[in-house]
Each structure stands twice: as structure tokens, then as C-alpha cells.
Chain A
Amino acid sequence: MSTGLVASSENTESKDPQQRQPLYEASTQFRNWRFSSEGLAQIREKLNEAAVAAIRNTFEVDQPGSSANVAFLHANEEVTLVKLYLTKIPQLCAMFRFPEEVEATAISYLKRFYLKNTVMDWHPKNVMLTALFLATKTTNNPISLETYTAHIPKTAPSDVLDLEFLVAQSLNFEFTVWHAHRALWGIWLDLQSLPDVDQNLSPSIHDTALNHIRASRLTDAELIYTPSQIALAAFTLAAPDLALKWAQSKLLPNVTSSQLSLDTISPVLELIKSMILNEGHAPDVEAVREVDRRLRICKNPEKVVGSKAYLAKQAEEERKAEEKRHKKVLEMQKGQSDPFGDEIQGTSLVDYDDDDD
């Protein structure tokens, strides 16, 4: 798929004519967060299986035979539950009047998080709140955590603080997200300068396309396609003739290959369009309620504060940390020889300030 072609329509028209590698293709999103549909399904399947096995084991250790009647969640049920919480983000953003950028970023974070974790370990409610809070910061729209949680019922600052690090880590600390709504803006600006396009384009065309992009955020589109592909698909849904004009103008410089490229793009556009139309809506509430009900029974007890399994895990971690501290003290007493010789120059090998190992 000609990502280069469509990607270059990103709102990054540089003044530099000899622009080297397209910026998007150097991004962490392009390198680390793009998958095939099958790839996504596989990742989710594997995560789900591993979680079920681990939780089953925890149940059995606690009480043999106790996992037999537990109806664990399937991967697709996890996706459904996450999707419900994706739909909460725009609602919260409207309440706080956060910009589009925050909303889109938080949604990407929540999806990416569940490519590394399962809902049976971490319930999406607090993960969603954390992803949104983190997104306000990474997009440079920070608000205080107190203000944030004060406006959300039954939520304390610790609900967010406890998870923030895990969320950041799951994102691999890759906070930059390239968004389809920005690519759409690029197309929109391009259109205003096309010679054969009416200069009085109705803003409602842009708004309709934007709504399709918002719908696409409830799907896997951004994990499979480039922002520009999604933007073009959304624009095609809003104004097919204009979308074609834009695509042709972008491809025109090379007339012979233009037909070819248009042909290669359109199947992808069709896929994205049907994804938006078929999956770009909130999940059935009853179905989600059922999933959530079962989740209460099959969630990982090690993550439930205060439970027997949770306490056991904590005790084990404390024991390991104590062992490490003990070893460090012993090493210090031995005055262990210093492998870096004179480079250290008087500083002790053991750093007293270094409290993390």
C-alpha cells in the first residue's frame, strides 16, 4: 500500500523541497503501532490466553477446583468492553472542554494499552481515566489531578496516580500520536487551493467527514491504516467527488502511475469505509453489561487490593526486596573490589541515593 503517497498529505507540507524521509514514516507510530487485522487478532488472542491461564492458576492455588466453573472472558468480549470505555472519552472531553487532540490521543492510548494488557488484569474504567489524564499532559493541555478527579464521580486522585506509570509503560513511553483529524485538515486546506474546486466549500463537508473520523476512533482503523488513509476514507464518505479530485491532484505529477495508485488505494478505502460504517458505533449496552458482570468473577485476584492473592503477592515482593537490600549491605561490608579502578576516584561503588536496586 502506498503509504508514502497518502502519508505525504499529512499537514506537514514543508518549505524544504528536498525533504528527506517523510516524517510520519520515521515516527514511533509508523514503526511500532501498525498491525494487520490478523496480527491484531493474534495479539489479543495470545494476551487473553495467557491471562486466563495465570488467573486460573491463582484460583487453583487459593482453592483447588475453584476455577472450573468460572466463565473467563474471550478476546472479542474484552474488545467490546474496551470499546464501551472508548465511547466515554468524548463525553468526558466535552464536559472538560478539552481540544480534539486530547480526545483523539486518549482514545489511541486506551487502545494501545489493551494490546499489552488484558481487562481481566486492569479494568478499563480507571485505565480510561488515566489515559485521558495522561493525554492532557502529553498534548500540553495539563490540568491539576485534583480538579480532574473532582469532576468525575466516585474517583480519587489515587485511582489515576496508581495506574499512570503502568499506562505510560504500556505505551512504551511513545506519547506522540499522528491523528486522522489533522490529516483531514490537510486535505481540506489542499482543496481550497485546487483550481477546479469551488472556493466556497461548505464547512459542513468538513464537519461530516470529521464525524466519520470520530466514528473511526471506535474501530481498529488507526492500528491498521495511516492517518491519511483514514482521513481520505472519511472524506470520501462525506464528499466522494471532491475526495477523488483531491486524490487525483495529489497523484497527477506522475500521470502513468496515478491510475495504478488510485487503484491500489481504493480497496483500502473501501475497507476503511466499511469499518467506519459497520463498527464505528457504541457496543450494545446489554452485551457489555453481561461481559462486565462476568468480569467481576474472573478478574485477576492478585490485582484486587486486599484480597488473599494480592496480599500473598505483596509479601513475596517485599521478601525479594529485603533479600536484595541484605545482599547490598553485605557487598558494602566486603568492600568489594572496584572493576572501574581509578575512574571512580573516591566515589563509592554503592550509591546511597540509588534506592531502586
Chain B
Amino acid sequence: MDAVEKANTARQQQWIKDRKVGEGTYAVVYQGREASTKRKIAVKKIKVGQFKDGLDMSAIREVKYLRELKHQNVIELLDVFSSKTNLNLVLEFLDSDLEMIIKDRSLVFLPADIKSWMAMTFRGLEFCHRNWILHRDLKPNNLLIASDGQLKLADFGLARDFADPGYKMTCQVITRWYRPPELLFGCRYYGTAVDIWSVGCIFAELMLRIPYLPGESDMDQLKTIFRALGTPTEDDWPGHTKLPDYVPVGQFPKPPMRDLFTAATADTLNLLSKCLIYEPRKRISALEALSHPYFFALPYPTHPSKLPKCSTVVNKPLDEVDANVDMNSSGPGVKATSKGLKRKLTSPTEAKARSIARRLDFSKAPPSSP
């Protein structure tokens, strides 16, 4: 056997696949373990044989960028190996994603929780941008959550580097609801600001608990944006009417953000609106966002381990779980006997605080509801 084949087999043997946990557009995902440490991992198996152009671009991008990026808030690629005509990516196992958490109506978000998720998102994104990498597909279900509460940017299948300035790029990226207006107008020269717009939409969604700008088509997306933020003038965004796919979609006044985000602080709205500035060059950068007053004002961000999380693994009644909670311990809080169970809430006092917060709902009315 060749040295390369041997090395591959050795790698393959370090990882054990246990069961299928999901299916994506081009991959099957398994839960598994690292043979030596029993550490929980995910194996993303990508079929390669079926493509007439060989290894497909999404797989190549994902491997290329994750191989280089190591950061607490970016999903970790632990290994890559092949089996027959499959490419296997070994990833750290992540229990849930932000979309699941947003949709879980039994969870209550405190402003401090949202601040914590936003801080982790900006940290991960700042690291990507510092490495000259655009993510180009940020949305709640690509922000995965680890069991310790850490948020990780995932799915780099659309990512690319931008070290070459003035290099023409495709505008067909980013899921519609999170896509910035410059891409909807067909702009082919863009930068880090496209990711910031997506983060702005996610920020709003965390407060509203429903998608902020849910357009039904690309054209309707622009309308939805303008209805929420006002149609941009030439002053707001010089030159936008000259963009390749520019079309006038109607004049909408700019409603005060406060009308929708009733409970948000001034700092919160300030950061949100800086993420959603029309002129891409004026939009806040990830680095600037991290030093925005929002992150230094009270309440301080919730510690990741104390963030609300989905209770998907709970398969016994909750009181039974609570019986295992060790109130005096600052550790994981769940006794070893309750292995495999997860608590919904961190502590009884916090539960109370959360139910109060729930009544102070951020959202008055869903945007663009018929």
C-alpha cells in the first residue's frame, strides 16, 4: 500500500461513526467518537464520485478555509480523510444551532443573552475577516452552538478570500433574507460589509424571534428591506442607482426602529442600525463592532455556559432532572448520574428572571405580516 493510502487508513481508524444525525444538501452527517479519547465528534461525509467535475466547489471551499481557521468561535475541523469516493470531514460535535434556539418557544432570551451571542458571532467573524475570508452565508442555522454554549460559525461552503482587491465576485451568495441590498442590486465588487449586513439581520431576529426581513423573492426582498429601513436616497448611498441590477422598487419612508424594537436600549439600536447602513463602506466592521459601547454597557453578556439552550436531549420529565441539580456546585450543575440529560434552565432564580423577561417581549408586532 502507498504511504498516502496508509496514512489515510490510519486517520480513518481514529474516528468512529455511530449514527446518522442529519442530511445536508451535499452531505450526510454522522455523530461519532474519537477512538482514543471518546470525545464526541461529527463526521460530514461528502460523496464525490457523483460530480462530473470532480471534487465540488463547496467541499473544496469548506476544507480549504477550515483547515486554516482555528478560533473558539469558528467550527473546528479536526481531520479529513477519504473512504472510497467519499470525502469525510471530522468536525467538533455541536448540539444545536441558533435557529433552533430562536424557534424554541419555551426559551426566554434576556438582553444579556443576545449580547453574548452577538459578541461571539462578531468575534468569529472578525477572525475570518482578519484572515481575508468572507463567509457569505451567515444565518441563524449556520451559527452552531456547542454544549458549553460557545457559538461557532459553520458552513464555509460559500466562503472565499478577498485579498485581491477589485476582483469580480458573484452576487449570487447569502440566503435571501440575510442578503444585503448591494448584492440584490447585482454588485460584483464587495467586501466584508456583506457579512455584517447578515449579522445585523440575525441581531434583529434574536430580538424579534422571527426573521426580520423575510422577502418572498429577490425583488420582494428589496421591498421588504426598504419598507423596514426606508428607501435609500442618493445621499444615504451614493451611486447605488448605477449598480448593474438596479431597479426602483418604490419609495418608502424610514420608520423609527424603536417602533419595532420597543424594549431595546439606545446602544442596542445604535449597533443594529450601524450593521444595516445602506452604503457598504459606512457599515460598521466586525472589529469596530467589538468595541461598540453596546458590549460594554450593562447588562454584561451572559456567560456562554449560562445561555438558554434547546432541550432536545431531555427524554425524562424535568423534575427528575432538577432532582439531580446540585445547587451548591459551580461546575456543570448536573450530577454524573444524570448523564445524557440536559437542563433547560440554569437555576431556579434564573428561571424566574427569564419568565419576567419574557413578558417584556422585544417584539410588538411581526414585521411585514400580512
**Contact of A168 with B by CB under 8 A:** yes
**Contact of B18 with A by CB under 8 A:** yes
Stretch at the interface among A11-19, A238-246, A281-289: A11-19
Q: Which of B48, B64, B164 meets A176, CB within 8 Å?
A: B64
- Collect the chain A residues with CB atoms within 8 Å of residue B52's CB: 145-146, 157
**Contact of B311 with A by CB under 8 A:** no
A175-B20 CB under 8 A given contacts A145-B52, A353-B28: no
Q: Which of B20, B60, B68 meets A347, CB within 8 Å?
A: B20
**Contact of B3 with A by CB under 8 A:** yes
**Contact of B325 with A by CB under 8 A:** no
Q: Cβ of A160 and Cβ of B54 under 8 Å apart?
A: yes
Q: Cβ of B67 and Cβ of A168 under 8 Å apart?
A: no
- The residue on B at minimum CB distance from A21 is B70
**Contact of B17 with A by CB under 8 A:** yes
A356-B86 CB under 8 A given contacts A173-B63, A174-B67, A182-B163: yes
**Contact of B19 with A by CB under 8 A:** yes
**Contact of A165 with B by CB under 8 A:** yes
- Collect the chain A residues with CB atoms within 8 Å of residue B4's CB: 116-117, 166, 169-170
- The residue on B at minimum CB distance from A341 is B340
Q: Determine how close the nearest CB of chain B comes to the CB of A83; give it in whole angstroms.
A: 21
A169-B20 CB under 8 A given contacts A23-B131, A164-B54: no
**Contact of B351 with A by CB under 8 A:** no
- Collect the chain B residues with CB atoms within 8 Å of residue A142's CB: 53, 57
Q: Determine how close the nearest CB of chain A comes to the CB of B217; give it in whole angstroms.
A: 28
Q: Cβ of A175 and Cβ of B3 under 8 Å apart?
A: no
- Collect the chain A residues with CB atoms within 8 Å of residue B64's CB: 138, 175-176
- Collect the chain B residues with CB atoms within 8 Å of residue A140's CB: 57, 61, 160-161
What's the count of A-B pairs with C-beta under 8 Å? 101
**Contact of B130 with A by CB under 8 A:** yes
**Contact of A27 with B by CB under 8 A:** yes
**Contact of B287 with A by CB under 8 A:** yes
- Collect the chain A residues with CB atoms within 8 Å of residue B285's CB: 15
Q: Which of A117, A176, A357 meets B2, CB within 8 Å?
A: A117
Q: How far is the CA of A175 from the CA of B67 in the complex (A)?
A: 8
Interface centre among A134, A142, A173 (most CB of B within 10 A): A173
CB-CB contacts below 8 Å: A322-357 with B: 340, 342-344, 347, 349, 351, 353-357
**Contact of A47 with B by CB under 8 A:** yes
Q: Cβ of B19 and Cβ of A351 under 8 Å apart?
A: yes
**Interface extent on A, as a size class?**
35 or more
Q: How far is the CA of A238 from the CA of B287 in the complex (A)?
A: 38
Q: How far is the CA of A137 from the CA of B60 in the complex (A)?
A: 7
- Collect the chain A residues with CB atoms within 8 Å of residue B65's CB: 176
CB-CB contacts below 8 Å: B217-236 with A: none
Q: Which of A116, A144, A161, A344 meets B19, CB within 8 Å?
A: A344
**Contact of A26 with B by CB under 8 A:** yes
Q: Cβ of A121 and Cβ of B2 under 8 Å apart?
A: yes
Q: Cβ of B3 and Cβ of A47 under 8 Å apart?
A: yes
**Contact of B80 with A by CB under 8 A:** yes
Q: How far is the CA of A165 from the CA of B177 in the complex (A)?
A: 36
Q: Determine how close the nearest CB of chain A comes to the CB of B52; give it in whole angstroms.
A: 7
Q: Cβ of B57 and Cβ of A137 under 8 Å apart?
A: yes
- Collect the chain A residues with CB atoms within 8 Å of residue B164's CB: 101
A28-B68 CB under 8 A given contacts A117-B4, A169-B82, A354-B17: yes
* Residue contacts A-B, CB under 8 angstroms, 13 given: A11-B163, A12-B163, A137-B60, A140-B161, A164-B54, A165-B82, A168-B55, A173-B63, A174-B67, A175-B63, A182-B163, A351-B17, A353-B20
Q: Which residues of A are interface residues toward B (Cβ below 8 A)?
A: 11-12, 14-16, 19, 23, 26-28, 47, 50, 101, 116-117, 121, 133-134, 137-138, 140, 142, 144-146, 157, 160-161, 164-166, 168-170, 172-176, 182, 340, 342-344, 347, 349, 351, 353-357
